[in-house]
A and B are shown apart, each in its own frame.
Chain A
Amino acid sequence: MKFNLHSASSPDHAFQIAAGLKEGWRYIAGGTDLVIQLRRGVREAADLIDLSRISALRTIETSETSFRIGALCTHKDLEGHAALVREFPALQAAARVVGGHQIRNVGTVGGNLANASPAADVAVALLALDAKVHVRGPSGTREIAIDDLFVSSGKTTLQPAEMIERIEVTRHGDRSRSVFLKVGRRKAMEISVVSAAVSLKFDAGGVCESARIALGAVGPRPLRAKAAEKLLQGEVVDAALVADAAALARDECTPRSDPRASAAYRTAVVEGLVKRAITQCAAALSR
C-alpha cells in the first residue's frame, strides 16, 4: 500500500487539491474502512485527501427542530452526545456496536455513510430516522434524503468531488421512539450479519402515525422495508400486526450468502429481529 496524503483545511481547500489530482484519488476521514480496503487491494488510490482536520465538520448542532451532525463526528462523539441519544436511542445503540473502541474513536459518521456498506450500523439507524444528508461539492451544496444516497455495496449517488458535510435528523418529540438491534457471531467487534432499526411515531391516541423500518446486510444496500412500514401506519400496533409487518419486511429482503451467514439464516433471522425491534419500540412508546 502506497499513497500520497494531502491534508485539507476546509471543504473548498479539499476541492482545490482534488482539482490538481489525476483521477483515482479518494477522500479519507477516519480511514477505518478505506485503509483496510486499500491494504487488501479491494480499492486503489494513488492520492488521499485527508478531511480529518476540518474541525468545523466535527460538531453536533442542536436546534428546536433538528440535530445537525457534522460528517466528521466519530462514533464516540455520537454515542456520547446526551441530548441526541436521549431523543434517538437507535443512534446510540448503532454507534456503540461499530467495531471496537479504537475504531469508534476514529471512524466517522460521514464515512459510515459514504463507504456505503450494506451492513453499516449507523447508516441503518440514520435511514430509519429519515435523515437528510447535506452534501457539498465544488459547484455548491445540495440536500438529499438518506434513502437516495445509497445505490449498492460501496456505491452512492455522491458526485466525484462531493463530500458529506452534515447529517440532519428531525426531532419528533415525545411520541416518537427508535430502536436498533443487530445480529452477529460475537457480541462486540462485529460486522452485522443482520441489523434492523425501527422508528415509530404514535399520535395521542396510540395510533401509529409514521413508521420507518431500515435493514442492514439483507440486500445490496441498507434498505427500507416500505411495505411493512405502510402496514403499520394508521394502525394500532398489536402483536398480530407486528407479526404481519415482520413477515412483510422479510419478503422485502434479498440477502446473499457469504462466509458470515447464509441467505437462509439472514431471511429467517430478519423477521424475528424486526418483530423484536417494533415490539420494543412500541412498548417504549406506550410506557
Chain B
Amino acid sequence: MNASPPMYDVVGKRLNRLDGAGKVTGAAVYASDFSLPGMLHGRILRSPHPHAKIMRLDATAARKLPGVRAIVTGASQKLNRFGNFIKDFEVFATDRVYHIGQAIAGVAADSEYAAEQALKAIEVEYEPLPAVFDAIDALAQDAALVHPEWQNLKAAPIINRDGNRCGRTVIKFGDVEQGFRDSYRVYEHVFRTSPVHAGYTEPRVAVAQWSGPDQATVWCNAPLLFDTQSALAEIFGLPASHIRVVVPGIGGGFGGKLRLGMEHYAMALARAAKRPVRVMSTSEEELTAALFRQPATIELKTGVDREGRIVAKKGRIVVDSGACSGSGPLVASTATMILAGPYRIPNAEIEGVAVYTNNHPNGSVRAPSGPMPNFATESQMDMIAEDLGLDPLEIRMRNILREGDIAVNGQKMTSVGLAECLEKAAACIDWSQRKPEQSRGKGLACGWWMTSRGSSGAYLKLMQDGTLTMMVGVVEMGTGALTGAAQVVAEEMGMQLFDINVVSADSLTTPYDFGSQGSRTMFAVANASREAARDLLTKMRTRAAKALGADEGALEMREKAFWNGEKKITFAELAAQANAAVGGLIAEATYIAPAVEHGAARVQNHFSPSWPSPSFHVHATDVSVDEVLGEVTINRYVVAQDVGYAINPTYLEGQLEGGAVQGVGQALFEEIIMVNGQVQNGNLTDYKMPTSMDVPPIEVILVTHPSVAGPYGAKGVGEPPSIQPPAAVANAVAAACGKRIMQLPITAEKILMD
C-alpha cells in the first residue's frame, strides 16, 4: 500500500496557492467588501421571545424616520417557507415566533445607524406561549409542540417525523440484547455536548439587486451556489435561473454558511426598496442568531468480552435542531456512523434522533455529525480500557476496522489506514510514557469520516496564450481546494500550476456543483476537471497531428507543445488556430463519486448509508492539569490522518492543523451558553475560541492509503480533524488527573468542581 509513490511534476508538490498573493496583499475581494452604487443597508428585527403569538406589529412610526427606505414584515411580502429537509423556516415570522432571534421584520435605510433606529421604532406585542428548551424533554408525549402544525409542513420522504421529533435514523443488525448477555462486562454512560459557532471571521453578508420584477442577483458568501439559488427561487416563487448567486470571496465558512444567511433578507428588502440592499450580520447576531453546531445528548451502552473486544453496542444520539430542523435530521443520521465508530461490531442498534426545541435553529459546523458522538464513543473506549486494565491504544488495536472488514453499515472496508495512524500517532507522542509526571497525561482518540458524494462539473478552455481556463461551480473557502484541483489539471495538461486560470462561484456562468462542503471540494472538482482535461487533450492532439502532418500516436507532448521529431506546435498556436477556425478548444466533464455498496437491511431512514472513500484519523495529545485551578495546558498535539494522497501537502497540513485547533476550541473553551433559549454569552468577549497561546504547534503525520476513486488516490480531508479533539483531550485530562469529564467543554470549573 505504501510503496514509494510515483513522482509527478505538479501534484504532490508544495506549490504556492493561486489565490495566495491577493489574500496576503489585501487585493482579494470578499463578499463583505462588495458594494453597489445607491446601495442601502438592511437590519433585522428579531424576536425576544422563545415562543409567542404576535398580537400586533406596527411599523408606522419606523417608516417615518429619516433615511428609512423600506420595511418588510411577514405580512407585507408573500414569501414561501423554506428548509433543506423540512419547510419549517419562515423568512419573517407571520403569526407566531418560535425562537429568540427569529426575524420579524427587516429595515432598509440609508445607513446602518438609521436602520438600527428604525428597528427600535417598530412596535410589536406578543403573547407568550409555552416553550421547551431541552431536546430530551421535547421528546416527551406531553411536551409543548414547537410546530403544532408539523404534519402540514412539507418534508423530504426520508424524514421520520413525530411531533417534536424531526428525524430518526436507525442502524440495526445482529441481536444486541443477546450480545449484552454474552458480554463479560457492559458499560453504560451518558455524554453531553454544547452548541458551538462555526467560527468564520467574516460575518454572513449579502448584497441583493433586482434588475426587473422577477430577476435578481445576490452577491454573498454562500459556499453552496446552487443550493442557495434553489432556496431563494423557492422563497420568492421564481424560476431558479432568474436568481443569480455570485460569491466574490468568502472569509471562512466551516459549514456555518451552508444554509441561507442574509441572502433572503437582502432580496426581500431590495425588492421593497427598489434599490440594492446590503445586509450583514453583526458579531452579536453571529453569536446569538447564527446556525450553531447542535448540542447533543448521547446515551451509549457497550458490551465487551474479557479481552476488551466489542460484543454489542447500543446507542442513541439526540441532537437539538432548535426551532427549525435545519441540518439537524442529516446531522443525527450521519452521527449514527460516528457513534458506532471505526470498529468491528457484531451486534448493534444505533439511533440518531433530531428534535425541535424553542432554541435557536442550528446548522452545520465542520464535520457536522462528528465531534459529539466521537466524544462519547472514544471517551467510553478509554473508560472500558481502564476498567479492564488495558492500555487505551491496545483496546483500539483489538477493535479497529482493518482491510476487508465489514463496517456497521454493512460496507466492506478497503484502503484502511487506521492501524497505521494509531501506531504513528502513538509513537510520535511517546505513548509508552503515558503518565510522564504528576498531573500530566496523554490521551488519544480515533475516528473515521467519509468523502461526501454529490456531483461536480467543469468547463475548460484553452486560451490564446497557451494557458488554460477552468470554470467550476464551487467556492474557494480558503482551504486551497481549487489550487489542489488546478494542480491536478496542470499535471494532466503538462502545464505549470500558474498556467491554470480558475473561474468559480457564479451560478449563471459556472457549471452545476454540489458545492464546497463535505470534504469533497478538491476531490470531486479535480476528478471532473481531470476528465475534461483528458477530453481537451484528445482534441488538441487531433488538431496538432493535422497541423504537423503526423500520426497522433507519433506525437510527443512536452513544454506546452506537441512535437513530431524536431517540428512542434505550441498550445498557444493550437489555441489561436482553433479560435480562428472552429470557435476554440473547449471541453467539459462531470463527475460523481461511485456509490458504495452497503447492507441496506441494516439501516432505516439513513441519509448517507454508504461511506464513500472513508478517511481514518487518530489524534493524540499530551496535557497538564493544574490541580489547584483546574486549568488544562496542552503540551503537545499530534494528528495522524489517512489522507489517501497529498495533492499539496502544505495546504493539507494547514487543514489538519486548523481543524485540530477548532476541535480543541470545542474541547476546552467554546460553548454557546443558553438559558431558556436566550444566549448568555453573545459576544466575542465571552464566546472563547482558542488563541495562539492556547494551542501548541500541531504535529501532523500524513498517512497515505489511496482511495480508488480519489484523484491520485486522495481522500476528503477538510472536516475530519475537528472530530477527535474533544475525546482526545478528555482522555488526556483523565490520564493526567483522574477526572473523567462527560460534558463539553472541559472547563477548569468542571475539572475542579464536578
Measured CA separation A275–B628 after assembly (Å) = 10
Tell me, yes or no, whether B428 is within 8 Å of chain A by CB.
no
* A4–chain B nearest beta-carbon distance, Å: 14
Tell me, yes or no, whether B694 is within 8 Å of chain A by CB.
yes
Once A2-B113, A276-B628 are accepted as A-B contacts, the answer to whether A264 and B753 lie under 8 Å apart by CB is yes
Say whether A261 contacts B681, CB under 8 Å.
no
Once A259-B673, A264-B753, A272-B628 are accepted as A-B contacts, the answer to whether A185 and B688 lie under 8 Å apart by CB is yes
Contact pattern, B 665-706, Cβ under 8 Å of A = 1, otherwise 0: 000110001000000110101101011111000000000000
Residues of A within 8 A of B668 (CB): 185
Name which of B176-184, B480-488, B590-598, B744-752 contacts chain A.
Answer: B744-752
Contact pattern, A 205-248, Cβ under 8 Å of B = 1, otherwise 0: 00000000000000000000000000000000000000000000
Say whether A259 contacts B681, CB under 8 Å.
yes
Say whether B691 contacts A185, CB under 8 Å.
no
Among residues 255 to 282 in chain A, which have CB atoms less than 8 Å away from a CB atom of chain B?
259-262, 264-265, 268-269, 272-273, 275-276
* A269–chain B nearest beta-carbon distance, Å: 6
Measured CA separation A264–B686 after assembly (Å) = 19
Tell me, yes or no, whether A287 is within 8 Å of chain B by CB.
no
Of A100, A183, A188, which is within 8 A of B694 by CB? A188
Say whether B629 contacts A272, CB under 8 Å.
yes
Tell me, yes or no, whether A40 is within 8 Å of chain B by CB.
yes
Residues of A within 8 A of B630 (CB): 265, 269
Measured CA separation A186–B284 after assembly (Å) = 20
Measured CA separation A264–B748 after assembly (Å) = 12
Once A269-B630, A276-B628 are accepted as A-B contacts, the answer to whether A189 and B753 lie under 8 Å apart by CB is no
Residues of A within 8 A of B752 (CB): 265, 268-269
Say whether B691 contacts A186, CB under 8 Å.
yes
Measured CA separation A74–B738 after assembly (Å) = 43
* B166–chain A nearest beta-carbon distance, Å: 29
Residues of A within 8 A of B688 (CB): 185-186, 189-190
Tell me, yes or no, whether A22 is within 8 Å of chain B by CB.
no
Residues of A within 8 A of B284 (CB): 40
* A237–chain B nearest beta-carbon distance, Å: 18
* A246–chain B nearest beta-carbon distance, Å: 10
Tell me, yes or no, whether A93 is within 8 Å of chain B by CB.
no
Tell me, yes or no, whether A120 is within 8 Å of chain B by CB.
no
Measured CA separation A88–B2 after assembly (Å) = 59
Measured CA separation A273–B694 after assembly (Å) = 20
* A30–chain B nearest beta-carbon distance, Å: 16
Measured CA separation A261–B686 after assembly (Å) = 11
Of B629, B631, B681, B691, which is within 8 A of A188 by CB? B691
Closest to A275 in B: B628
* A112–chain B nearest beta-carbon distance, Å: 16
Interface centre among A259, A262, A268 (most CB of B within 10 A): A259
Tell me, yes or no, whether A191 is within 8 Å of chain B by CB.
yes
* A218–chain B nearest beta-carbon distance, Å: 14
Of A183, A187, A262, which is within 8 A of B691 by CB? A187
Closest to A269 in B: B629
Residues of A within 8 A of B686 (CB): 191, 259-260
Measured CA separation A183–B748 after assembly (Å) = 9
Residues of B within 8 A of A272 (CB): 628-629
* B660–chain A nearest beta-carbon distance, Å: 17
* A239–chain B nearest beta-carbon distance, Å: 14
Say whether A261 contacts B673, CB under 8 Å.
no
Residues of A within 8 A of B629 (CB): 183, 269, 272-273
Measured CA separation A269–B753 after assembly (Å) = 10
Once A40-B683, A259-B673, A259-B680 are accepted as A-B contacts, the answer to whether A185 and B753 lie under 8 Å apart by CB is no
Of B693, B749, B753, which is within 8 A of A186 by CB? B693
- B interface residues (Cβ-Cβ under 8 A, vs A): 113, 284, 628-631, 633, 668-669, 673, 680-681, 683, 685-686, 688, 690-694, 747-749, 752-753
Excluding A1-B113, A190-B688, A272-B628, 14 further A-B contacts by CB distance (< 8 Å) are: A100-B691, A183-B629, A185-B669, A185-B688, A185-B748, A187-B691, A187-B694, A188-B693, A188-B694, A191-B686, A262-B753, A264-B753, A265-B630, A268-B752
Q: What 8 A-B pairs come out closest when comparing CB atoms? A: A272-B628, A188-B693, A187-B693, A265-B749, A259-B680, A188-B691, A259-B681, A259-B673
